[in-house]
Amino acid sequence: MDVLTSGHLYQNTINIINHAAEIAGIDPAIRTRVGKPKRAIMVSVPVRMDDHTVKVFAGYRVQHSQTLGPFKGGIRYHKSVTFSEVGALAMLMTFKNSLLGLPLGGAKGGVAVDSSTLSRNELQSLTRRYTSEISNFIGPESDIPAPDVGTDAQTMAWIMDSYSQEKGYAVPGVVTGKPVEIGGSLGRVGATGLGAIFCLQELLKVLDKPMAGTTIAIQGFGNVGSHAALYAFERGAKVVAVSDVSGGIANEKGINIPKLIEHYSTKKMFKGFSEPHGEITNDQLIATKCDVLIPAALDGAIDKENANSVQAKIVVEGANGPLTTDADLILQKKGIKIIPDILANGGGVIVSYFEWVQDISAFFWDEEEVNANLQKVMQAAFKRVWTFAEKNKIDTRTAAMCVSLKRLEKAMLLRGLYPR
């Protein structure tokens, strides 16, 4: 397991677990068990390229825990994917699902590839071969993959079809995040952004502040950031700044988000947007004077170099790990409220769970029902975290991990250790 557990992200995750476990009084045996995955798979993925050469890519699937239910976690295609990174993310999925109260364990998968350089035919071949290599380890009752960085609904459709072809019949429940036409769920696309806004609403309630008129700056205008902006706008908030990798725009009176999304969806950039705005850099967005900052782009976007420039009163982590450890401490000292990623961006996996439930029951919900159930789950999870944080006088990130570990500990102790 040395290659798996030696990476920086893996060790950092272990440190977070140990810190929370001390505060929550977690059984030492449980701490030892959650520090290692149940199963870790490394596979070769040979692909015949369009020029008829053969390339071999490294593929991984790490299944961390199934104490609470089937393994669940995304598959990412990125050139920086490593065994250790996938292992750490699988561990974090276990804790996210536990925190959210879902009957699911944690897993993660990936292929070390720059998918942007592949043709559609090469991407499909890669996906189908990777699926074949891990097909003995996945399934609707054992391990349910989903989209992640570099993958999407089409990728899930190829995985579902490849798995189904090997089984001899359609198995829609083997993956989530599929197109609606083949068993996907309504509401899945915008779920992560909507979940973040539901969390923000709950925090504003306990702070006795209205959503209407709240000023918000959002870094990242991909799936999560754009949907968070839209749902905030629809609830009366004032989105005053947004950005992507190339920069951003701002308007202290508020940006017309529906019009911006319409423009961005066709142009893939902010340039040329007809509504009043000024141009800003990503550093300027992070320093925007506003009530709420939502970093929804890459991990480590706010670090010790720029954390002191944050003027928001609340930070909602839409991305995974957008605050470094140093930045987290700086913001806490400044009295900034933080909704951690393990909670804030849980909307995606919640609706993935709903999709899986709909697939295995062959009964589908309308979008209103999906969103209503998403809100219930997010409200309950936020309440658990906030109550624990207030009672123990600790920060919300540590509280979230403590709540997660307590549920996992109870389940593991009830199930016991096999064999005796």
> What digits encode the pLDDT tens for the residues 165-180?
999 999 999 999 999 9
CATH 3.40.50.720 domain locations along the chain: 191-334
Active-site hit among 72, 108, 238, 406:
108
Average pLDDT over residues 229-246: 96
Over 60: is that where the pLDDT of 395 sits? yes
Establish whether the linkage from the previous residue to 340 is cis, with ω within 30° of 0.
no
pLDDT value at residue 320: 84
Mean pLDDT value across residues 190-202 = 97
> How far apart, in whole angstroms, are the C-alpha atoms of residue 347 and residue 95?
14
Residue 1 predicted with pLDDT over 70: no
pLDDT at 321 (0 to 100)? 85
d(CA 151, CA 74): 9
Tokens of 13: 């995750």
Global pTM value: 0.94
The 10 Å Cβ neighbour count of residue 304 is 13
Nearest partner of 381 among 416, 411, 332, 339, judged by Cα = 339
pLDDT at 10: 86
CATH of 191-334, one of 3.40.50.720, 3.40.50.2000, 3.30.300.30, 3.40.190.10: 3.40.50.720
**What are the tens digits of pLDDT across the range 301-339?**
999 999 999 999 999 999 988 998 899 999 999 999 999
Active site residue 259: no
Q: Where on the phi/psi map is residue 299: left (φ > 0), alpha (ψ -120 to 50), or beta?
A: beta
- Where in the chain do CATH 3.40.50.10860 domains reside? 36-182
* Average pLDDT along the chain: 95
Q: What is the mean pLDDT of residues 332-357?
A: 96
Q: Phi/psi class of residue 192: alpha, beta or left (left: φ > 0; alpha: ψ in -120 to 50)?
A: alpha
Cα–Cα dist 273/56, whole Å: 43
Q: What is the pLDDT of residue 4?
A: 84
> With 90 as the cut, is the pLDDT of residue 13 above it?
no
Percent of the chain with pLDDT over 90: 90
pLDDT at 183: 97
Looking at CATH, the fold of the domain delimited by 36-182 is given as: Rossmann fold (3.40.50)
26-40: per-residue pLDDT in tens? 999 999 999 999 999
Range in 69-73, 201-205, 257-261, 295-299 with the lowest mean pLDDT:
295-299
Give 11 or 252, the one with higher predicted confidence: 252
Percentages of the chain per state (helix, strand, coil), in multiples of 5: 50, 20, 35
Q: What is the DSSP string of 225-264?
A: HHHHHHHHHHTT-EEEEEEETTEEEE-TT---HHHHHHHH
Please state which of the ranges 9-23, 220-234, 308-322, 341-355 shows the lowest mean pLDDT. Answer: 9-23
